[in-house]
Amino acid sequence: MIHVEDKSLVLPDGRTLAFADNGNTSSSSIVLFFHGAFSVGDASRLPHALLDRNVHFIAPTLPGWGRSSPTPAPDPAAGPASYTATLAADITALITHIHPPTRHPHTPLKVYLCGHSFGTVLAQMLYGLAHDTFPLGRHIAALVLLAPHSPPHCHVGYARCMTWPAYLMAGPPARYVPFNALMHLARLLLTGCFSSEATAEAFMRRYVIDAMDDDEREVFALWREEQGLDEGQFEREIGRNAFRSVRRSWRGFLDIPAVYHSGWGNFCFANIENTCPVLVVTAENDSVAPPEMARWLASTYKSARLKVIPRGSHTSAFFHLDDIWDEAFSIEVSSSD
């Protein structure tokens, strides 16, 4: 079993949504995971905390990445909310396809929304939608944000948290420079890094492994041993996913600023109907999704808890997923008591 965007769904409008899933496909407890940039839907390795709880893990590939079709061109009449509306329709179609109502006639679904890095933007979009717009929102049991980004239209100081690369590609310059010129330039500079699985692996090795300090390298080595991975296997896997993510199209990458500054479907903290717990996870040395954004989110969401990984980097959460999910389920149970 491959479990890396090995399945696909033809959506009602004719587009394709690629995805992977793992775990108990008959379970009414669903973990819906949104990956970050330069990745695809990957369900090949589940943490024990999810396996022990018999959940169904579903990882769609984000629009415009991998084998997933991009969202339609923005509709001027629909306004900035059109991306979020399309996302909600796509995810509704996916969940309804995998878990039709007749499968769980007496047990309501419990959906745990989770995202990493740019994927936290999509997870928060769905979490913040009105239930009339996204009926599955009524079934959200928890929101888990790994290395999150804050909504720029709500977080006034978001840009001050960013490093220079993030500032140029997702901050005010990316929004106001015409013709999306900065992202097109970045694509030209990055194309050679993702021209093959080997070059993508080398890039991700520099981006992930070289960003670790000695303490985190020890944590990574222990995690790799627990997972039964050979040395270099993890780097090969994320390199393969990165190569696949842009092999067909760079549309997902080019759309990052537009999506980030889309308004998130009129997202507003004061109007969020969900009251379930939110777990915000950051790493002390994350230079991509700065801890300041995570702290702001944890202080702004209702019923939120902040978890900080000491001396960690942008991908540290993946090496602590058992602890993260144990905590997420713990606060979900506590909130329902």
Q: For the chain, how many structural domains are there in total?
A: 1
Residue among 175, 29, 44, 146 nearest 95 (CA): 29
Residue 235 within any structural domain of the chain: no
Q: What range does the domain containing 47 cover?
A: 7-166+263-336
Residue 233 within any structural domain of the chain: no
Residue 245 within any structural domain of the chain: no
pLDDT digits (tens, 9 = 90+) for 27-69: 999 999 999 999 999 999 999 999 999 999 999 999 999 999 9
DSSP string, 164-182: HHHHHHHSHHHHHSGGGHH
Percentage, residues of the chain above pLDDT 70: 96
Q: Read off the CATH number of the domain in which 21 is found.
A: 3.40.50.1820
Give Cβ neighbours of residue 165 (< 8 Å, ≥ 6 apart). Answer: none
Q: Tell whether the torsion through CA atoms of 61, 329, 150 and 293 is positive or negative.
A: negative
Q: Given pLDDT bands bounded at 50, 70 and 90, which one contains residue 103?
A: confident
pLDDT digits (tens, 9 = 90+) for 111-170: 999 999 999 999 999 999 999 999 999 999 999 999 999 999 999 999 999 999 899 999
Residue 228 within any structural domain of the chain: no
Residue 193 within any structural domain of the chain: no
What would the mean pLDDT of 290-304 be, rounded to a whole number? 97
Residue 192 within any structural domain of the chain: no
* Predicted local confidence at residue 335, as pLDDT: 76
* Predicted local confidence at residue 333, as pLDDT: 84
Residue 187 within any structural domain of the chain: no
Give the Cβ contact number of residue 171 at 10 Å. Answer: 23
Give Cβ neighbours of residue 43 (< 8 Å, ≥ 6 apart). Answer: 3, 4, 20, 21, 22, 23, 33, 57, 58, 59
Residue among 91, 83, 92 nearest 267 (CA): 83
Backbone Cα Rg of the chain: 19
Q: Given pLDDT bands bounded at 50, 70 and 90, which one contains residue 81?
A: low
Contacts 24+ apart (CB under 8 A), 231-235: 235/201, 235/204, 235/205, 235/208, 235/209
The token pair at 300 is 């702004």
Q: Given pLDDT bands bounded at 50, 70 and 90, which one contains residue 101?
A: confident
What would the mean pLDDT of 246-261 be, rounded to a whole number? 96
pTM of the model: 0.96
| Mean pLDDT, all residues of the chain | 94
Residue 124 within any structural domain of the chain: yes
